[in-house]
Structure 1
Amino acid sequence: MINLHIKDHTPIPLNRDGLDVVLHAICGRSGLNPSGARLIKFTNNAVFELAQEPIVVRIAGSQTVRDRVPKIIAVAKWLTTHGMPSVQLLPNVKQPIEAHGHLATIWHSVPATGIAATASDLGRILRRFHSLPPPATPLPRWRPLRPIRQRIAETDILPKSDRLFLESKCDELEGAIVDLRYSIPPGPIHGDSFIGNLIPGPTGPVICDFDSAAYGPREWDLTPTAVGKLRFAYAGNVHEELAEAYGTDVTDWPGFPVLRQLRELQLVTSVLPVLHDNPSLTPQWRHRLTTFKSGDVEAVWTPYR
């Protein structure tokens, strides 16, 4: 196994120039060629697709995300062991890789050449995920408000009134979650399960993005698609399709309104740590915050680009 866990604790900003420096350091240490690499996403992680070979490099975009990297690696290996349709780490590389104070993981690229993934696919994959035996290394307990509070604390862009509102909403939801009575037994969950985290591979969809994996309520994995229908005006009957494939409609459960607010708070705060370095996200973030703060449950949000 190649030992690529090389440390360089000199942090540099993850703006476009900084990302190129970090990517080149990672590729240089792993024998990969960064020439022509394409930045395909930069929200919580900066995700590059290499041009010279079918490999994806994920660079954690904040301290909150860096803290999750060891868990992400463990979950990926656990899913591979059980033959789950999931993204695969590059083998024979000791991960994560550290460069200029940032952590990165390297993955096999899944060519999105298959039939577009559906909510039914997600429902079937989640049902299979929830049937797996727990991993040998226990998953952390589901504590969804901890990373939200950390993101709020990390940012310096929030006016005092917005910060106080978000902190107060965290306190409110923390109390409400304690009182929930779940209808499905708890266990391993993906934690951020929506259609956007399925890649339509050539042999069928595979699931990705294990940043939020935890031991917790299965209802949480059914919530993103339900909230997506309400907030993002998804076309078709995506929520109904997922509910039918999985076998449970989470919106029929009395606790759903609490999880809806929690999911929306998560969607409002998810990009706070990277707004300085990726200001193109600001208009949509501001729209989400303003409508969430005012209680406008009819406002339509759009995905971050």
Structure 2
Amino acid sequence: MRSILWAACVRVGIDAEGAEVVGPQTAYKLPDGVVVRIGGRGKKLVASREVAMARWLDACGVSTVRLVPDIPQPVLVDGRAVTFWQNLPPHHPGTLTQVAGALGRLHRLPLPEFELRRLAPLARMAEDITAARTMSEDDRHWMRAHLEELRGRWKALPPGRSWSVIHADDWDDDVVVTDDDEVILTGLGRMVIGPPEWDLVHAAIECWTMASINAAQYADFCTGYGCDVTRWDGFYLLRDIQEFRMALHTMRAAADHPVYQRQAVRRLAYLRGDGGMRPWPGWGDLD
């Protein structure tokens, strides 16, 4: 990775001396505050979309992670897309009200002119079920039937807000606030075109499924955004899809890390109706 880092920096005229690893082994911080990210092989299109998204948000006046200016990006080295970013200033996590406000600003933007994928919430779920090797065949049979049910319901998604750019990922750590109160939206890599309600369901799950936030905090989120997604007819479908995705993620992890098996079994039992009413105790536990 360091050889790729050096080659990319030489190509754009940046000094890589003193680079330090930050986060995963594919990100480096340079002494001048530049953060260099090295993408996976064959991921140039993904990196290009992230670059386009950062530029588009900045042009729309939305505070987000900023690219190093005057550099053509991404830079391709040995099949990997390398991008250059300005390091974030000192910051702290945003409140639920600030998160809701940032999502609202994102959802109100006009659609970008560059190509962006549309939300496909059930994509790869069949593969995830097959990969859940620690679950029984009866369990996988139930999950395949549940997936077919969700597919049918998705085709009949009730009308809601106009589709827009959405964050499309768990946003807990992706809205930060600087010391001078600038709210910055990060986590651009998974943004797609989809129903804005998809981003809002995550807060409802944290309250009514996981009980990781209380009703008053959820009310603050709804006030910050301007509506309560649980009052929309399509809420239960999006909730069910997201909960199933969360369960499958745990099951796939359990195939390689046994520590997740207990949680995988617990989540499946809840989805099948064997654990009583929400909120579900232990849904957010790791084991």
Query: Which residue number in structure 1 is paired with residue 284 of structure 2?
Result: 301
- The answer to whether 1:224 aligns with 2:207 is no
Structure 2 CA distance for partners of 1:288 and 1:230, relative to 1, 3 Å: farther
Q: Distance in 2 between matches of 1:231 and 1:57?
A: 38
Structure 2 CA distance for partners of 1:275 and 1:246, relative to 1, 3 Å: same
Using the TM superposition, name which of 29-38 and 243-252 deviates more.
29-38
Q: Distance in 1 between matches of 2:209 and 2:15?
A: 40
Q: Which has the larger radius of gyration?
A: 2
Q: Distance in 2 between matches of 1:258 and 1:302?
A: 24
- The answer to whether 1:38 aligns with 2:17 is no
Alpha-carbon RMSD: 3.6
Deviations 1:43-64 (A, max 9, x none): xxx663515232333444687x
Q: Distance in 2 between matches of 1:258 and 1:187?
A: 19
Q: Distance in 2 between matches of 1:157 and 1:76?
A: 35
Query: Which residue number in structure 1 is paired with residue 66 of structure 2?
Result: 88
Shift of 1:24: 5.4
Query: Which residue number in structure 2 is paired with residue 258 of structure 1?
Result: 237
**Larger RCO (CA within 8 A; separation ≥ 6):** 1
TM-score, normalization by structure 1 = 0.72
Q: What number of residue pairs does the alignment pair up?
A: 273
Structure 2 CA distance for partners of 1:144 and 1:55, relative to 1, 3 Å: farther
Q: Are the equivalent residues in 1 in contact too, given 2:117–2:193 (CA < 8 A)?
A: yes
1:291 paired residue among 261, 266, 271: 266
Shift of 1:248: 0.9
Using the TM superposition, name which of 234-243 and 212-221 deviates more.
234-243
Shift of 1:82: 0.7
Determine what percentage of the aligned residue pairs are the same residue. Answer: 23
1:77-156 alignment, distance < 5 Å: 77-111=55-89, 113-114=90-91, 116-146=93-123, 148=125, 152=128
Secondary structure, counterpart of 1:200 in structure 2 = strand
Deviations 1:251-287 (A, max 9, x none): 22232222122223333455899999xx7xx466545
Secondary structure, counterpart of 2:65 in structure 1 = coil
Gapped regions of structure 2 (runs ≥ 5): none
1:213-252 alignment, distance < 5 Å: 213-230=191-208, 232-235=210-213, 237-252=216-231
Q: Are the equivalent residues in 2 in contact too, given 1:117–1:199 (CA < 8 A)?
A: yes
